[in-house]
Amino acid sequence: MKINVSAFGEVAGEVVNAFTLSNDNGMSVTLLNYGGIIKEIQVPNAEGELVSCVQSYNTLQDYIDDPSYRGAIVGRYANRIGHGTFTLNGVQYALDKNGGEHNLHGGLAGFHKKVWAAKTQESDDKVSVTFTLTSPDGEGGFPGTVNVEACYSLNQDNELCLVITANTDQETPLSFTQHAYFTLSNDAKVGNTLLYIDAEKVTDADTTLLPTGDLVDVANTPFDFTTLTAIKQSAEQINSHPLFDRVGGYDHNYVLRNAPEHSPQAIVKALDTGITMALFTNLPGLQFYTGGLKSDDQLGALCLEPQHFPDAPNKPEFPNCFVKPGETFTASMRYKFSAYY
């Protein structure tokens, strides 16, 4: 187990480093303290050949210019808050409207564009990097000064773990996610990749992808991944759904079931490379994103974003997303990689 640290660039005079975590199996993960970004995940297949499992850029400027949150930690609030506003304790808060008419992924001052402080730790069974930052009261329109710690670790079981904790001095909504674009397959399109999601429902949404408050059963719709299924098989089935047709692909929040502790919330399997990824999380929702699937110009990757439900600050029927002073918010995500013949 080891960590290699190298300079990757500067942002406004602040140094950005690349932290490469490696285990004894040949797996490595490269992280940036800009945006808490996962830049690379390299996993050996059954023949020992390395498979690149996320989309990445070569330069820091590419990440600075990137509008798609590629590989980054997202906060203060992942996904959408309707019409850029919410009311808490009788006070209405106005947020950045950076996603059409809505607040998206924390607004213009989101965590994905921050330079985080970093410290490393090595041991025989795992290596880790802990990123920290403070989001001041009023940033993006949100109340409260929020202190955030994001710890990435890699162990000998080929597990990449991310645990994000936060506390606040005022009650505030929090929802953090990791926005990696996974490419376990070498295919230019994700249709042949197999997917399982432990969810029987998705949140309904309007034409702007804002939840209506209703839930949609996934059975007999393109959203059904309750068994390991090729993405294009679900997407192209005869029983479509208006919620799917609005996107022409996937950009939807899955309502995760309360699974047993050691059961994954999602599994991704690439038949051509033999790489499988199991995702475990303590969060109630999972945004599955592919972008449009009906054109030749496809994303070629998929995102699985553990999160609180979109627009939960405005929908009390959704799982609670508010954190009070004295409480610790914890978002846990574990990605277990394996290879098969």
Q: Is the peptide bond before 76 cis (omega within 30 degrees of 0)?
A: yes
List, in sequence order, every residue forming a beta bridge with 6; answer none if it has no partner: 18
Instruction: Tell whether the torsion through CA atoms of 21, 27, 30 and 36 is positive or negative.
Output: negative
Q: Which of 120, 147, 113 is nearest to 34 (CA)?
A: 113
For residue 40, what are the CA distances in angstroms to 6, 43, 155, 294? 14, 10, 16, 28
Instruction: Look at residue 99 and give its three-state secondary structure.
Output: strand
- Please compute Rg for the chain using Cα positions: 19
Verify whether residue 305 is a known catalytic residue.
yes
3-state secondary structure of 235: helix
Measured between alpha carbons, how far is 150 from 275 in angstroms, rounded to an integer?
Answer: 26
Annotated active-site residue in 179, 261, 308, 317: 179
Q: Is 102 an active-site residue?
A: no
The residue with tokens 């004894």 is: 24
What the block records as the tokens of 230 is: 């090729």
Active-site entry in 40, 159, 305, 308: 305
What is d(CA 148, CA 131) in angstroms, rounded to the nearest whole number?
8
Residue owning tokens 């990689």 = 337
Catalytic machinery residues = 179, 305
